[in-house]
Amino acid sequence: MPKLGMEPIRRAALVKATIDEIGQAGSLDVTVSRIARRAGVSAALAHHYFGGKEDLFLAAMRHILTLFGAGVRAGLREAETPRARLEAVIRASFQAEQFRGHVVSAWLNFYVAAQTVPEAQRLLRIYQRRLRSNLMHDLRPLVGARAGPVADMLAALIDGLYIRAALGPEARDPAASAQKVVDMADLLIGEVT
């Protein structure tokens, strides 16, 4: 007896299952069947709702981006000075939710996908642009014209720490990684030009 209004529930379950499955496998070598089984539905239904494997992956990616965006906004809500806001933006990149296990693994794989799948690339670009714009917005009052290079530096540092976190159990310490970036930010801000 099929029920009405199942669509959003199924979609959400499938997206979550996709992220989890990728996280567990450590790669995009994941079958639709397994994802579907994990979500408690048939593989056919996954296709019914998402059209194909790739779309499922992209939906998962979008979901992660959405969560990330929400995290940033939440962090900013409590910050008032530029310095505080900057720190909030940085720490948002290292929220527990975003910075570990399944999600980091998913990110790493999305990086790879971005080389091939245009839509994946588009999404990554959005993320990068948004991060850069967030950083610059608060760096400008602090470092003026140097906001651009400094933002690039911090962004690269954030991504670099991502990789390290994805590769081994050591250093899987979000807070410490965040602190490193914050320290670096302070150093760059204090630098005389």
Partner DNA sequence: AATGAATGAGGATTCATTCAT
Partner DNA sequence: GATGAATGAATCCTCATTCAT
84 binds, among DNA, its own copies, none (CB under 5 to 8 A by kind): none
C-alpha dist (Å) from residue 133 to 9, 95, 136, 188:
34, 19, 5, 17
- Which residue lies nearer to DNA by CB, 35 or 108? 35
Q: Does 187 bind DNA (CB under 7 A)?
A: no
7 binds its own copies per the rule CB under 8 A: no
Size of the site for its own copies (CB under 8 A): 38
Touching its own copies, residues 110-139 (CB under 8 A): 111-116, 121, 124-125, 128
Contact residues for 103 (Cβ-Cβ < 8 A; gap 6+)? 19, 23, 64, 97
Q: Is residue 54 involved in binding its own copies (CB under 8 A)?
A: no
* Per-residue CA distances from 178 to 24, 87, 94 (Å): 25, 9, 6
Tell me which residues in 46-85 interact with DNA (CB under 7 A).
47-48, 51-54
Q: Which of 31, 66, 81, 133 lies at the binding interface for DNA (CB under 7 A)?
A: 31
Cβ of 153: how many Cβ atoms within 10 Å?
16
Find out whether 86 and 103 touch, Cβ atoms under 8 Å.
no
